[in-house]
Structure 1
Amino acid sequence: MAILNSIRKRGIFLILIIALALFAFILSDILTKGSGPGKDQDTVAIVNGTEISRQDFMQQVEATQRNLGPNATTAQAMNMVWERELRSTLLAEQYEELGLTVEKEQLNSAMRQSLANNPQFQNELGEYDEALVQSYVSSIKGNPQLYGQWQDYIKNIKEAALQNMYINLVRGGLASTLAEGKQQYHFENDKINIQYVQVPYTKIADEDVSVSEEEIKQYISEHKSEYEVDKQIDIQYVFIAEEPSSEDIQAANDNVAALINDRVELNDTIVGFKNTTDDEGFVNLNSDQSYTDRWYFEKDLPQPIADTIPSMSKGDIYGPYQVGNSLNLSKVIAVEQLPDSVKSRHILIRYQGLQTASQDVTRSKEAAKKLADSLSTVINRDKSKFEALAAQFSEDNSNKDDGGDLGYVGPGRMVPAFNDFIFDNNEGTVGVVETNFGFHVAQVLEQKNRQRAVKIATVIKQIEPSESTINNVFSKATTFEVAAKKGDFEKVAEEQNLTARPVNKIGELDANIPGVGSNRSIITWGFEEETSVGDVKRFNTPGGYVIAQLTRKSPKGLMSVSEASSKVTPILRKKKKAEKIRQSISGSTLQDVASSQSVTLQTATAVTMANPIIPGAGSEPKVVGAAFGEKAGETTGLIDGEKGVYKVRVLAVNKAPELDNYASYVNQLNAANNAVNSKVYQALKKKADIEDNRAKFY
């Protein structure tokens, strides 16, 4: 009570303290995150000043991930939505700048094309009817979900129409002229014969030409667009798996083995796997995977039971045996001689109410059964009528014109009732089978390779690490983390018999780490402002722990010298070799150059501009271009090519005859513009000012 009274007396004081604390917290948050456009926590990106809303973006990502299916990752969905939104935003700017709009008639025309084959919007003549569209829209206005979907559809139609207009405008501006067609014709068909001398760069050893870091740095600064990189990090990590110990495996083995025989628990007898009469129920009760009802031939059985199960008798049990990280018990519950494949045919009769039936099916289930029985009776009297009746009555359009032929299938490939009919009956048998597809008038045509088959019931129990093992693994991971923070990461890993794995050039939005799989938390940590090179952190992952160390952190900008060295060094080395070769050449004629460099004169015929390959030298566009600039009998100066330094003498120039029409070459050039759609987008993206904040949210 004394404490409560004290609080009451100081109520106003406490309120002020709490208010100040809240204010400090908010102020700190503002100072940390900033209030500028690039720091807006409700904006996933800003593209040329246009904001992309975080909430809308995330909703689209969630919807896209659902549409992609259960195996899709958030990163995949996010990247798809990003490209779509970025493209839409960039193109919308172009539409606005050019004043492009979709008029009502254009929208109607686009809708007419889109909905022409939809029966819901066709009149009695099978033609698109705009009145039916208007009626549909009026009927759904009271349904927010359906009306919202319709609005999205109209938005997409308009977007597609605008994009078509814009791309056609761009494509129109890129249309090739007859003059360009004529030029292309001569590029492809004008030919020259040349004599040349090549002094290869390989004449000078790489080690004789040094390239300094300063030279590489200068080259990078002069070619910035080629060596720009986004933010990147390098890490190294160890993975400590949370795996069952040998003691855990033995304990699991004992537990599974205990399922074989009857046992007494609390004075009740629990029937074991050996004596149970309900094998399916036993498996479903005791296994981590449900019972599978199918027949196995020897070739279908997995190791290690393939060599044992086929020779066992009904009721025999094999196991426990280990498969991967599970312990299994397999019991033979049936043995038969079965064909390994059966050829059959059918006539499918559907009825109203089936999920697999179309809206055109109006017959009742009783009527469908009556029709199937009638067809079966007719066919049993005369089996030669099967094909004609299938063509007339079957509603399986995939094979009705082939007499209902289903080809050869193995056990378990058809739905259970149909599978049992064709495998359990003799060749030639005709009968009616009911499945979730409807009624089948089925006939067994041929059964091949009859052999021993077994049906098995398998109890599968995953081997889980015990609590003791889990604690030991956690202790090991924690011990390593502490030691790695104080000492050398790789050395500590080696001392603890662990492998340090490096992963380089990780992007800010990457999701996959080799050896770990998808793990955004590790990547996000590496890019956080508070994380410095050398920092170590432990992460919980499926199946164990990752202890990671940040080994490099590069901001967005130009490549470092070490990163660019592998690309720039050969370029600079080639340039220096060319200078040395030029300095060592004496004489002005081809023969003089060849003699001074101890190389031979070579000739090449029928060289073209369109395919600038010199036999014996390879692709040399610069050399071929220089040669085409000379007349017959003239000689070029020294040319620094791809493979060496060249000097060329033109022996003959063979101009292609003029054509009456160059339209085919114009069409050839225009065909190259088919990729304008993607190229325009890439050009707009390259030019755009994009502030990408996705890494803050994913």
Structure 2
Amino acid sequence: MGIMGFLRERMGKILAIVIGLALFAFIIGEVVKSGSSFFRDSANEVGEVNGKAISYQEFNERLDASTQQFRQQSGQELTPQINSYLQETTWNQLLTQQLLGKEMDKLGIVVGDAEIQSMISGNNPDQAIARQFVDEKGQFDKSKLNQFLQYINSGKADAAQMDQWANFVKQVIEGRKSQKYMALVTNGLYVNSLDAKDDYLAKNKLVNFKYSTLPYASIPDSQVKLTDGDYSAYYNDHKHEFINKQETRNFDYVSFNAAASKEDSAAVKALAEKLAADFKASTNDSLFVQVNAETKAPIASVRKGQLEPTLDSVMFGAQKGFIYGPYLSNGSYKVAKLVASEVGPDSVKARHILINPATEGGIDKAVAKADSLKKLIAGGKSFADLAKIYSVDKQSGEKGGDLGTFGRGAMVPAFDEAVFNSKPNELKTVTTQFGVHLFEVQSQKGSSKVVKVAVVDKPLQPSSKTQAAVYSKAQSFLSSLNKDNFDEQAKKSGLTIKKADDVTATAAALPGLDNARDVVKWAYKAEQGDFSDQVFTTGDQFIVARLTAVKPKGQLSLDNVKKQIEPAVMNMAKGKKLTEKYNAALNGAGSIDQVAQKAGSTVVPVQNIVFANPVIPGSVPEYKLIGSIFGSQPNKLSKPVEGAAGVYVYVVDSFVNPAQLTNAVREKQQLSQALVQRSEGLILDALKDKANVKDNRAKFY
């Protein structure tokens, strides 16, 4: 009865709580479905600048464009470090665009229609546009620009070309607006005559002095016991140095090496030896390489010096079909076969017309178009004129298709092979990753022996057995951990604890670890003191980590920087002792020689030091010491000065003043130029410091 009565009395409250929880669960469910939450940023926002979101789509499109441009310009493979660099560069570009955009809108900075027209087609177009239309000497060619603009406005350009041009013009306009903003700021910078005079004296006034020093290293660390007061005193005096511009984290980690064992190496070598026998019997070497090699490199003619040294020394004196290997090179067992040797030109002069299969409707149609152009040229049409009209390689197309003179290996392998195996004045076609080339060799130079060498490689990788054994050790170590025994267990297992300090949320690599993204992601979800919830794999290493510090954005606490400042605090504590020693030596001393003798030091004479370059010969920069010296009177013993490397006592012998500065114009101009050059970066830094920036990239990459 009691229970039923209790329920009747409180049923209203109970129902309200149940309904409230159900509604809350429903809302949370909908939020999760829609990809956002009351407790975290929108799932499709990479970041936010002053309340304006940067969407994942916008950022990723920019990143893809930067990545494609990097690939085309460098030809390098994308590594985690390069990916991280491209991502950071793209982020900074977007950040700059948002920050400057807001400032320019506030100031009403615009580029009018007449100005845009002048920038594009005027007598003095914008430099970004002028650089795209140059003659053979690299000078701006107005006729080429006009020809292109007529083509764009004729309606013959396809949608992709129109979009590319529109985006390019948009960037040029934004660039002009940024120039106006920077000019507005920099025109307000001013260097007066006093600034010029101070700078002139700092660079030209000389001082001659003698000094005695007691280095901090003269006191062993073991003789100094640091107190909390020492740390606090140093921290309070240098607080301005401990501002974190973005959140960072510190963690310790141990690594278990899962590189290939001796047994693995023997197994891979045995496989390579079997391949060597099959390779020797092969009648289709290209197919054999494509089927069996890890690195499926095309077989191209090379001259002496272009093969790796091991092969270069044997292949040029060998007979066709000669097999070399297995040999170990760059982490792989390799087998090489001499496919052919002949005498060929050292370099060629050639021209081409490049046709893009994507815009022609496929490889077949691109080849057909190349054949049609070939017939036109054979019928008397100018190769150079057709290249200007039809080649998608605009850089060479504007020069009539001219590629200049180049040696073997300068071009992609397929094009290289085709060109060096052609005769002068022959018109031929070849397909590469860039498209279909109609080319003509105009001349050949030199003559030397070349060889074709086919290489099959098998990487030296750990077997699954090796990896399983090492992973088991890592897992066993992880299983033995609790909140307090990471150091103890590492020592017990004979493992070296490595440190990763001040790691940013978007870091891709760490010292000794090329691809550590998963470890970094874990660190940004963990709490200080946590150890990793799994064994991470980075290359041939298995990693177990422990988060040791979370350093928030903004002013760092003493606890955050205590380890970092320990060497400086140690020097500060030693400096007090050395200063006391010098003060005792100064008592009753009449010369620096007497001070040095009493302190157990020596006197060192120094000449011709300038304020602008405060470096004592054979030592580190000593800003505090040199600043003190230039504020001193000659022939007067100084008080002890705690510098960067030790404690100093000095006496000034003389100052040598430069000639009187009669005309400050030149000095003012130099200072102004230096100030303007620094200003753009300083302006952006100031805007970033003031802005409210949220960086969510770590959630996506």
TM-score, normalization by structure 1: 0.69
Aligned length: 612
Matched residue type, 2:669:
N
* Equivalent residues of 1:343, 1:408 under 8 A apart: yes
Structure 2 residue 681 is the aligned partner of structure 1 residue 681: no
2: distance between equivalents of 1:21 and 1:441? 78
Q: Which of the numbers 164, 167, 170 marks the counterpart of 2:182? A: 167
Shift of 1:528: 0.6
- Contact 1:477-1:545 at 8 Å conserved across structures: no
- The alpha-carbon deviation at position 255 of structure 1 amounts to 9.6
The question of 1:549 aligning with 2:545 is answered yes
Q: What amino acid maps onto 1:95 in structure 2?
A: M
Deviations 1:566-604 (A, max 9, x none): 233324532553355335532485477567657777776
Contact 2:258 2:466 in 1 (8 A): no
Residue deviations 1:594-643 (CA, integer Å, cap 9, x gap) = 6765777777666654455678998655555555556777x476262525
Q: Which AA in structure 2 matches 1:539?
A: F
Of 230, 250, 263, 1:215 maps to 230
- Letter paired with 2:176: A
* Native 8 Å contact 2:575 2:642 kept in 1: no
Q: Cα–Cα, structure 1 residues 64 and 281, in superposed 2: closer, same or farther, change >3 Å?
A: closer
Closer/same/farther in 2, CA of residues 617 and 308 from structure 1, 3 Å limit: closer
Shift of 1:80: 0.8
3-state SS in 2 of match to 1:232 = strand
Q: Could you tell me whether the CA contact under 8 Å between 2:252 and 2:547 is conserved in 1?
A: yes
Q: Would the alpha carbon gap of residues 547 and 685 (structure 1) be closer, same or farther in structure 2, given more than 3 Å must change?
A: same
| Corresponding position: 1:504 with 2:500 | yes
1:205 corresponds to 2:226? no
Residue in 1 that maps onto 2:58: 56
In the alignment, is residue 481 of structure 1 matched against residue 490 of structure 2?
no
Counterpart pick for 2:530 among 503, 528, 533: 533
User: Which stretch of structure 1 is more off in the superposition, 511-520 or 598-607?
Assistant: 598-607
Equivalence map 1:287-306=2 (5 Å): 292-294=298-300
Distance 1:599 1:324, change over 3 A: closer
Please name the residue that 1:185 is paired with.
200
Aligned equivalent of 2:514, options 495, 513, 517: 517
Q: Give the AA of the match of 1:668.
A: Q
Shift of 1:34: 5.8
Deviation at 1:539, TM superposition (A): 3.1
Partner of 1:577: 578
Q: Deviations over 1:638-661 (max 9, x none)?
A: 26252534354675x665454442
Larger CA Rg, structure 1 vs 2: 1
Other structure's SS at 1:549 match: strand
Instruction: Say whether the 8 Å CA contact 1:354–1:438 is kept in structure 2.
Output: no
C-alpha displacement at 1:351, in angstroms?
7.2
Backbone CA RMSD of aligned residues: 5.3
Is 1:627–1:636's contact at 8 Å kept on the other side of the alignment? no
Q: State whether residues 425 and 442 of structure 2, in contact with CA within 8 Å, keep that contact through their aligned partners in structure 1.
A: yes
Q: 1:528 to 1:259 in 2, by over 3 A?
A: same
Q: 1:224 maps to what in 2?
A: 239
How far apart, CA to CA, are the structure 2 residues paired with 1:92 and 1:21?
A: 40
2:249–2:523 CA contact under 8 A, matched in 1: no
Of 84, 88, 92 in structure 2, the residue corresponding to residue 79 of structure 1 is 88
CA deviations on 1:145-166 (whole Å, 9 max, x unpaired) are: 6665455434423332232222
3-state DSSP of counterpart to 1:52: strand
Is the Cα contact below 8 Å between 2:254 and 2:490 reproduced in 1?
no
Amino acid at match of 2:253: Q
Give runs of aligned pairs for residues 75-154 of structure 1, distance below 5 A.
Answer: 75-111=84-120, 112-113=125-126, 114-116=128-130, 126=143, 136=152, 139=155, 143=159, 149-154=164-169
| Cα deviation code 1:134-177 (max 9, x no counterpart) | x947959994x666545543442333223222222332232312
Correspondence 1:665 to 2:659: no
**1:100: how far off?**
3.3
What fraction of aligned residue pairs are identical, expressed as a percent?
A: 20
* CA distance in structure 2 between the aligned counterparts of 1:419 and 1:273, rounded to whole angstroms: 27
Tell me how far apart the structure 1 counterparts of residues 453 and 658 of structure 2 sit (CA, whole Å). 78
| Alignment-derived partner of residue 258 in structure 2 | 241
Q: Name the SS for the 1:534 alignment partner.
A: coil
- Name the CA distance, whole Å, in 2 between partners of 1:612 and 1:325: 48
Alignment partners' CA distance in 2, 1:215 and 1:68 = 50
Q: Return the alpha-carbon distance in structure 1 between the equivalents of residues 65 and 94 of structure 2.
A: 14
Paired residues of 2:268 and 2:333 also in contact (CA < 8 A): no
Which consecutive unaligned segments of at least 5 residues does structure 1 have? 1-15, 261-271, 373-393, 400-404, 423-429
1:184 Cα deviation (Å)? 3.0
Contact persistence 1:318–1:331 (CA under 8 A): yes
Matches within 5 A, 1:387-466: 415-420=416-421, 432=426, 434=428, 436=437, 438-442=439-443, 446-447=446-447
Name the CA shift for 1:86/1:225 in 2 (closer, same or farther; >3 Å).
farther
Q: Distance in 1 between matches of 2:147 and 2:407?
A: 46
**TM-score, length of structure 2 as denominator length:** 0.69
Find the aligned partners of 2:158 and 2:322 in 1 and give their Cα distance: 65
